Every structure is written in structure tokens, then in C-alpha cells.
């Protein structure tokens, strides 16, 4: 009977070890300093970067071996609300447009020629009023300027002006 009990305990212990070693904790879903939301991790930088291309380069430099990282793409009202809520809590309005978060949106020759740096489809936008109005070659931003409430605007010349940014990468697929 004791042998049976010991075997039973050994099986239980083995199962527990298997579960605890194969299922990552929530903290393992994203790298340190990244926030998990949905199927992706997000990294917010509220210290101004040197511009949109610099921000995109910094995002790409944080990629992991099988998890590409770019300035964030936005694909739903829910994702937009998440990004705006973090921006709103971290950076209060300071001007008509600022602060703004660079996202991975490029505007081509016209408003209808838009693309994301991560290669995903442009299936959602949140432009304010006449925006985007700086094409071609402008870049998109989420604004927490006075009364902007997370609406998007574009900035010309590849976004050379310093501002904040948000990166995005897929979460750990084992999560
Ligand atoms: Ca604009």
C-alpha cells in the first residue's frame, strides 16, 4: 500500500513539475518593461526620441529572435482605447497637439495609400478632422493634445520632430 502511495505522490509531483515548467507566467509573456494587451506586448517611451525613424529603429532593435518589433500598428477601437489610456495617464495635454505618440503608420502619395511598418493591413484609422494633411511621406501619431482625446494626426518630413513613441511585438506564443 505504501509503494502505491509513494508512486501516486511521485506522479503528482511529476505532473506539477511539468505544468510549472511548461506554462510561462504572465510576466514571461512580454519582455521586462513591456505591457501585455491581447495577443501583443507594447513598449511605451515617454522620453522624447529624435523623430519617427529613430523611434522605429529603436523598436526594431528590441526584437527577439522570433518576435519582430516595430512602432505599433492599431487595428481596432479597443486597441486604440488601450494606447490612448496609457498615453493619457502618463502624459497630460501640453499644447494643441502635444504630447503625441509616434505609431508605425506611413502615409504615401494620398490619404488612401497608407501602410504599417510591421506589414499588417490598414484596417482601422482614427484621424481627426482634415488629418492626414501632410502627405506624401508623412507619419501618423496619436495625440493627447488639448481636446484631441487620442485622435490621430500626421507629421511631415518623416516625423523629424522629437516626440514619444510606442512599440509592439507578438507576445510569447506559449502564453
Ligand atoms: Ca497633419
State how far the Cα of 68 lies from the Cα of 174, in Å rounded to an integer.
16
Q: Nearest Cα to 166, choosing from 152, 175, 174? A: 152
pLDDT, tens digit only, all 175 positions of the chain: 555 556 554 544 454 444 444 455 666 899 999 999 999 999 999 998 899 999 999 999 999 999 999 999 999 999 999 999 999 999 999 999 999 999 999 999 876 799 999 999 999 999 999 999 998 989 999 999 999 999 999 999 777 888 999 999 999 999 8
Q: Nearest Cα to 73, choosing from 34, 138, 117? A: 117
Q: What is the pTM of this model?
A: 0.84
Query: 143: part of which helix (H) or strand (E)?
Result: strand 138-143
How far is the centre of ligand 1, averaged over its atoms, from the C-alpha of 127 (Å)? 9
What DSSP designation does 164 have?
E
How far is the centre of ligand 1, averaged over its atoms, from the C-alpha of 5 (Å)? 72
Contact 64, 172 (CB under 8 A): no
| DSSP string across 8-54 | HHHHHHHHHHHHHHHS--GGGGS-TT-EEETTEEEEEE-S--S-HHH
How far is the centre of ligand 1, averaged over its atoms, from the C-alpha of 103 (Å)? 14
Amino acid at each position: 500500500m505504501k509503494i502505491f502511495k509513494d508512486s501516486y505522490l511521485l506522479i503528482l509531483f511529476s505532473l506539477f513539475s511539468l505544468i510549472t515548467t511548461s506554462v510561462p507566467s504572465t510576466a514571461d509573456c512580454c519582455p521586462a518593461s513591456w505591457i501585455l494587451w491581447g495577443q501583443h506586448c507594447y513598449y511605451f517611451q515617454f522620453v522624447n526620441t529624435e523623430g519617427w525613424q529613430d523611434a522605429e529603429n529603436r523598436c526594431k532593435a528590441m526584437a527577439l529572435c522570433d518576435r519582430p518589433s516595430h512602432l505599433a500598428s492599431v487595428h481596432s477601437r479597443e486597441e486604440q482605447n488601450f494606447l490612448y489610456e496609457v498615453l493619457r495617464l502618463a502624459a497630460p495635454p501640453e499644447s494643441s497637439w502635444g504630447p503625441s505618440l509616434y505609431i508605425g503608420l506611413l502615409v504615401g502619395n494620398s490619404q488612401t495609400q497608407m501602410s504599417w511598418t510591421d506589414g499588417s493591413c490598414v484596417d482601422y484609422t482614427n484621424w481627426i478632422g482634415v488629418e492626414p494633411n501632410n502627405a506624401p511621406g508623412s507619419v501618423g501619431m496619436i495625440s493627447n493634445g488639448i481636446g484631441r482625446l487620442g485622435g490621430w494626426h500626421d507629421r511631415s518630413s518623416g516625423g523629424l520632430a522629437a516626440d514619444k513613441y510606442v512599440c509592439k511585438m507578438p507576445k510569447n506564443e506559449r502564453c
